[in-house]
């Protein structure tokens, strides 16, 4: 039986102060009970967090192990070298996240640490009045922002944006940002866990301790010339087209079929609906809302939808 087929993965759940249990309620994720889970890492290949395949002949293997054996077949790259160049998550923000920033390549070189990260947020669900913060208000200087961190008035210098389901927000590296409460988000990003917190709303963990801040690194990483006006919001078709990944939005009715042709690896995030992928070479792969599948470059088959489905297609 073929070892190259659409792979499903075991989610990696992350406790977060601002998380909850909504990933269980909406997608049926088997979350640890009585815990605040803010992130479900759907596809990861980082040093301390590696996704494990749960279906087919390679079940039990990590993504990294599969790529080591079948890198060209999966990625389409004759000279593929890991790690995998995407990090895919689902986020449950029951409370507001810290004000933070991810560095770009130049900043990582300048300060001699960290990995760059560019990301996008697709809004799956939003409570009335839910918002995000992205970018710095025009005219704000580094000195003013540092002073606002010290006196707790950072929110007044961030661009606040009210959001609705179906929107995609692109955040290039260097963008100061925060996710507000009441949001369920699909997050697509480059493979980095480098996050510099500038402000955490004066919160403490259950043990009474505040989470660490990284003010110097954050100030060094923030692009003070990026505001919300510079970051357009997309809702249909091609959502993101940046140097690191492309994201397209798809919607199919329950009787639809979509051909998957060889030629390019892609990641499919199913946000609603269900169906299965079938081919002549591999066993059918069933999917449902909340599943993320990696479709190898050489895979040839058909997606047969059994319910109206919305999904994201991610390509490098």
Write the DSSP assignment of 37-79 as a string of letters.
Answer: EEEEEEE-EETTEE-BB-SSTTTT-BHHHHHHHHHHHHH--TT
pLDDT in tens, 15-41: 999 999 999 999 999 999 999 999 999
Query: Which of 197, 220, 237 is at the close of a domain?
Result: 237
Q: CA-to-CA distance for 104 and 102, rounded, in angstroms?
A: 7
Residue 213: domain span: 7-237
Q: CA-to-CA distance for 87 and 73, rounded, in angstroms?
A: 20
Count Cβ atoms within 10 A of the Cβ of residue 303 and give its class: 0-12 exposed, 13-18 middle, 19 or more buried.
buried
Percent of the chain with pLDDT over 70: 100
- Indicate whether 207 pLDDT > 90: no
Whether 229 and 252 map to the same domain: the answer is no
Whether 71 and 150 map to the same domain: the answer is yes
Q: Which of 51-60, 76-85, 262-271 has the lowest mean pLDDT?
A: 76-85
The answer to whether the beta carbons of residues 234 and 285 sit under 8 Å apart is no
Whether 147 and 259 map to the same domain: the answer is no
pTM above 0.75, yes or no: yes
Whether 197 and 260 map to the same domain: the answer is no
- Average pLDDT, whole number, for the chain? 96
Quote the pLDDT of residue 209. Answer: 85
The catalytic residue positions are 197
Total number of domains in the chain: 2
Backbone angles phi, psi at 270, to 5 degrees: -90, 120
| pLDDT interval class at 1 (50, 70, 90) | low
Whether 123 and 206 map to the same domain: the answer is yes
Percent of the chain with pLDDT over 90: 93
Q: CA-to-CA distance for 226 and 150, rounded, in angstroms?
A: 22
């Amino acid at each position: 039986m073929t070892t190259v087929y659409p792979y499903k993965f075991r989610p990696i759940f992350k406790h977060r102060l601002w998380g909850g249990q909504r990933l269980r309620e909406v997608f049926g994720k088997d979350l640890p009970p009585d815990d605040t889970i803010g992130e479900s890492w759907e596809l990861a290949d980082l040093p301390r967090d590696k996704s494990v395949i749960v279906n087919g002949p390679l079940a039990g293997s990590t993504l990294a192990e599969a790529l080591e054996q079948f890198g060209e077949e999966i990625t389409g790259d004759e000279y593929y070298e890991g790690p995998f160049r995407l990090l895919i998550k689902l986020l449950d923000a029951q409370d507001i996240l810290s004000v933070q920033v991810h560095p770009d390549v130049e900043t990582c070189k300048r300060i001699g640490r960290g990995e760059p990260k560019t990301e996008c947020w697709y809004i799956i669900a939003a409570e009335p009045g839910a918002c995000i913060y992205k970018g710095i208000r025009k005219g704000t200087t580094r000195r003013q922002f540092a002073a606002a961190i010290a006196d707790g008035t950072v929110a007044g210098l961030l661009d606040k944006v009210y959001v609705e389901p179906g929107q995609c927000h692109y955040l290039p590296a260097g963008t100061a940002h925060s996710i507000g409460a009441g949001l369920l988000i699909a997050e697509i990003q480059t493979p980095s866990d480098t996050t510099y917190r500038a402000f955490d709303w004066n919160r403490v963990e259950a043990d009474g301790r505040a989470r660490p801040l990284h003010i110097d690194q954050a100030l060094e990483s923030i692009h003070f010339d990026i505001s919300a006006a510079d970051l357009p919001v997309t809702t249909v078709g091609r959502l993101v087209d940046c140097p690191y990944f492309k994201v397209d939005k798809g919607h199919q009715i329950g009787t639809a079929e979509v051909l998957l042709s060889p030629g390019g690896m892609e990641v499919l995030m199913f946000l609603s609906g269900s169906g299965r992928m079938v081919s002549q070479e591999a066993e059918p792969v069933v999917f449902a809302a909340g599943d993320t599948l990696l479709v190898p470059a050489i895979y040839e088959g058909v997606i047969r939808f059994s319910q109206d489905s919305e999904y994201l297609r991610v390509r490098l």
